[in-house]
Amino acid sequence: MTQSILTSSVDTLAQELAAIQQTGSKRIAILGSRHVPITHQKLIEMMSYALVLSGNRLITSGAAGTNSAAIKGAMRADPNSITVILPQSLERQPRESREQLEQVMHLVENPANDHLSLAEASAMCNREIISRCQQLICFAFHDSHTLMQTCREAEEQNRVVTLFYFD
């Protein structure tokens, strides 16, 4: 029993080291809370801008706050470098989000989820985003249940997870 746990830990460590040392382009997901102070939004925007300029491709969802800031930074660096996956159809998004999302080249809608609650659709959307990325950067509050679950699922899939807390 101890041997299998040790082997698993070593394998996980080796995978994480390999991911960190990878110098080529990565598919990085950026997810986070909608309720983000403007100063934090500016930092997220600058980070996504820098990640894209470094040759990475970003994946996020279409919510306001963190995700909107990530979209804004990536679009400024290279509009072709970001994929936005919506939890529901574009029509279900708030008007202010729709204006930004209509400018995104790689937009994936999920109208089949329009009948679900936003929480259910968001959880499914986050799973799809995690399945497409190599690394997750998440900005959350400690009580952000959906985001915390997304981070756990990403870790279970051996993604490199960086979690920043607002509180």
Residue 56 has a pLDDT of 98
Residue 71 has a pLDDT of 98
Residue 20 lies in a domain: no
Decide if 135 contacts 162 (C-beta within 8 A).
yes
Alpha carbon distance 82, 78 (integer Å): 8
Residue 4 lies in a domain: no
Residue 63 has a pLDDT of 84
Residue 155 has a pLDDT of 96
State pTM to two decimals.
0.87
CATH number of 158's domain = 3.40.50.450
Residue 46 lies in a domain: yes
CA 64 to chain centroid, in Å, comes to 13
Domain that holds residue 44: 25-165
Give the burial string for 12-43 (b: 16+ CB within 10 Å, else e). eeeeeeeeeeeeeebebbbbbbeebeeebbeb
Residue 3 has a pLDDT of 57
Residue 3 lies in a domain: no
Alpha carbon distance 150, 121 (integer Å): 13
Per-residue pLDDT tens listing for the chain (167 residues): 555 555 566 666 676 666 667 667 999 999 999 999 999 999 999 999 999 999 999 999 988 999 999 999 999 999 999 999 999 999 999 888 999 999 999 999 999 999 999 999 999 999 999 999 999 999 999 999 999 999 999 999 999 999 999 88
Which amino acid would we find at residue 100?
Q
Q: Domain tally for the chain?
A: 1
Alpha carbon distance 45, 130 (integer Å): 20
Residue 83 lies in a domain: yes
Residue 10 lies in a domain: no
